[in-house]
Amino acid sequence: MAARRTAPRLLNTLCRVSSRRFGALPEGSTSSSSQHLINIEYECSAHNYHPIPVVFSQAKGSSIWDPEGNKYLDFLSAYSAVNQGHCHPKIMKALVQQAERLTLSSRAFYNDRFPVFAECLTSMFRYDMVLPMNTGAEGVETALKLARKWGYEKKKIPKDEAIIVSCCGCFHGRTLAAISMSCDNEATHGFGPLLPGHLKVDFGDEASLEKIFKGHDSIICCQVIIPPDGYLKAVRDLCSKFNVLMIADEIQSGLARSGRMLACDWEEVRPDIVILGKALGGGVIPVSAVLADKDIMLCIHPGEHGRVKGDQINRVNQVYGRCDGPCGDDAEEAERELDGIGSVYENDVVFLDAQLEQCVREFGNGRFELTEG
On whether residue 81 sits in a domain, the answer given is no
* Residue 308 pLDDT: 55
Are residues 348 and 230 part of one domain? Answer: no
Which has the higher per-residue pLDDT, 358 or 176?
Answer: 176
DSSP letter for 156, please: -
Are residues 192 and 62 part of one domain? Answer: no
Are residues 113 and 12 part of one domain? Answer: no
CA separation, residue 51 to residues 8, 79, 86, 287 (Å): 9, 13, 19, 23
| Set 213, 265, 278, 368: catalytic member | 278
Are residues 357 and 226 part of one domain? Answer: no
Are residues 345 and 319 part of one domain? Answer: no
Q: Which of 58-67, 174-183, 224-233 shows the lowest per-residue confidence on average (mean pLDDT)?
A: 224-233
Taking residues 249-263, report their average pLDDT.
88
Are residues 253 and 363 part of one domain? Answer: no
Are residues 68 and 93 part of one domain? Answer: no
CATH of the domain at 221: 3.40.640.10
On whether residue 99 sits in a domain, the answer given is yes
Taking residues 15-33, report their average pLDDT.
51
Q: Which of 22-26, 47-51, 154-158, 305-309 shows the lowest per-residue confidence on average (mean pLDDT)?
A: 22-26
| Set 66, 149, 203, 249: catalytic member | 249
On whether residue 84 sits in a domain, the answer given is no
pLDDT tens-place string over residues 183-223: 888 888 899 999 899 999 988 889 999 999 998 877 777 65
* Residue 184 pLDDT: 85
| Set 56, 171, 242, 363: catalytic member | 171
Q: Is 0.75 surpassed by the pTM of this model? A: yes
Are residues 139 and 35 part of one domain? Answer: no
Pairing of strands 359-362, 163-167: unpaired
| pLDDT for residue 18 is more than 50 | no
On whether residue 82 sits in a domain, the answer given is no
Which has the higher per-residue pLDDT, 175 or 321?
Answer: 175
* Residue 187 pLDDT: 86
Are residues 249 and 364 part of one domain? Answer: no
CA-CA-CA-CA torsion for 308, 312, 317, 318, nearest 10 degrees?
150
Among the three residues 48, 74, 100, which one is the final residue of a domain in this structure? 74
| pLDDT for residue 12 is more than 60 | no
Q: Give 226's pLDDT tier (boundaries 50, 70, 90).
A: low
On whether residue 143 sits in a domain, the answer given is yes
On whether residue 136 sits in a domain, the answer given is yes
Q: Residue 359 sits in which domain range?
A: 340-373
Are residues 197 and 268 part of one domain? Answer: yes
pLDDT tens-place string over residues 116-142: 889 989 999 999 999 999 899 999 999
Are residues 345 and 326 part of one domain? Answer: no
The mean pLDDT value of the chain amounts to 80
On whether residue 44 sits in a domain, the answer given is yes
What phi, psi does 255 have (nearest 5°)?
60, 50
Are residues 118 and 26 part of one domain? Answer: no
- Cβ-proximal residues to 29 (8 Å cutoff; 6+ apart), any chain: 57, 58, 65, 67, 69
| pLDDT for residue 1 is more than 50 | no
Among the three residues 11, 40, 74, which one is the final residue of a domain in this structure? 74
Which has the higher per-residue pLDDT, 22 or 240?
Answer: 240
| pLDDT for residue 358 is more than 60 | no
pLDDT tens-place string over residues 72-88: 999 888 988 998 899 99
Secondary structure of residue 124 in the 3-state scheme = helix
* Residue 317 pLDDT: 54
Q: Is 278 a catalytic residue?
A: yes
Nearest alpha carbon to residue 155 among 295, 325, 329: 295
* Residue 114 pLDDT: 87
Domain count of the chain? Answer: 3
CATH of the domain at 42: 3.90.1150.10
* Residue 15 pLDDT: 46
Q: What percent of the chain has pLDDT over 90?
A: 44
Q: Is 249 a catalytic residue?
A: yes
pLDDT tens-place string over residues 324-356: 444 545 556 666 666 655 555 555 555 555 555
Q: Give 360's pLDDT tier (boundaries 50, 70, 90).
A: very low
* Residue 170 pLDDT: 83
* Residue 31 pLDDT: 59
Taking residues 47-67, report their average pLDDT.
94
On whether residue 55 sits in a domain, the answer given is yes
* Residue 313 pLDDT: 52
CA separation, residue 136 to residues 97, 108, 250, 339, 369 (Å): 25, 23, 10, 25, 22
